Amino acid sequence: MIAFFRYALFSIVLILLGGTVLLRLADSNHPTHADNVPDAIRIATTEKSILGWSTRIAHKKNFFQKNGIRPVFLYNRYGKENLQDMLEGKADIAISSETPFVRAVLKKEPICALAVLTTARDHIRIIARKDSGIQSPKDLRGKRIGLVPDSNGEYLLDLVLTMDGLEPDAVRRIDLSPKEMIHALEKGEIDAATIWKPFNVRLLAALGENGIAFDAKGIYSSYFVLSTRKSFLEKEPEKIEKVLRSLAEVPRFYEENPQEMIDILSEYVPEIKREGMQLSSKNYDVGPRLDQAFVYTLEDQARWMIRKGEVESAEMPNILNYICPEPLGRVLPENMRIIR
């Protein structure tokens, strides 16, 4: 009898462990688990970042599942790595800011934007130390500025410098990761940092009265872009539409359940609660959508990269050739506002 109970207990443990393994595979970070699964879509997104927040909400609230799609997430440090995974076929769709997307366009990669998931105002800021003699953007001349090179943070820096009559080479650029920037600015090893949320919220709070922030005065918004390979869109248009239909449910949840949204995203990005970061509709428009302002931003960043000599060709591409609006037009025609 004792042997029987031991066997039964052992069997129950095995069943529970097996169930746990299956649950982990269902939300695995590794795209290999999507192989040969008809309803799976492999999403390359950024670890511990609000970049892919729409997909996390859609997954947590079962919007994907309701629309017959199963997301499998692959995490990277930066949006450019997400795009690379997608271009190499490790992922089906990728989320990035607009800047690495433009860089891929200039390299003539077979890529297209499906939608803007989030339009973020005041998302990137220059945080500076007042005791470095900085009271306005003009005071950045000759100062040490921490940044992630070739990012939309660097684009913002050049935009702010230009608006205040400074040349791009008026500052000393220090290549740092966001975490390195926080440490360096707090220690006074750099004078300012161009950095995105939630890191700039933390920096400004840490500096207290010694901190000051600059932005592009409302003329620039950053974009969280959903893109795919053109070949994947041709092969799996229904999957793409299911993804967009799932993400289209996020805005209502965003407006009606702000605290639950913060709770969900804080599991993914702990800094959101820790830094008291606000994700209000004043600063973030949650998509999916495509509009003409997005096109203008892509074109301006393409010109910026060409001026910097980042690409071999100085030829300005037709950005519209790298935007695929048809799926969004079928799912949310009212959110497709591009002049073609």
Q: How far apart are CA 237 and CA 178, in angstroms?
A: 36
Which CATH number is 37-120+222-337's, of 3.30.1600.10, 3.40.50.720, 3.30.230.30, 3.40.190.10?
3.40.190.10
Please determine whether the domains at 37-120+222-337 and 124-214 fall in the same fold group of CATH. Answer: yes
Look up the pTM and report it. 0.84
Q: How far apart are CA 234 and CA 170, in angstroms?
A: 46
182-233 pLDDT, tens digit each: 999 999 999 999 998 888 888 998 999 999 999 887 889 999 999 999 999 9
34-66 pLDDT, tens digit each: 555 569 999 999 988 888 999 999 999 999 999
Q: Where are the domains of the chain?
A: 37-120+222-337, 124-214
135-150 pLDDT, tens digit each: 999 999 999 999 998 8
Question: Is the model more confident about 335 or about 16?
Answer: 335
The CATH code of the domain at 124-214 is 3.40.190.10
Kindly calculate the radius of gyration of the chain based on its CA atoms and give it in whole angstroms: 22
pLDDT of residue 29: 42
- Between 53-60 and 258-268, two packed helices, what is the crossing angle to 10 degrees? 110
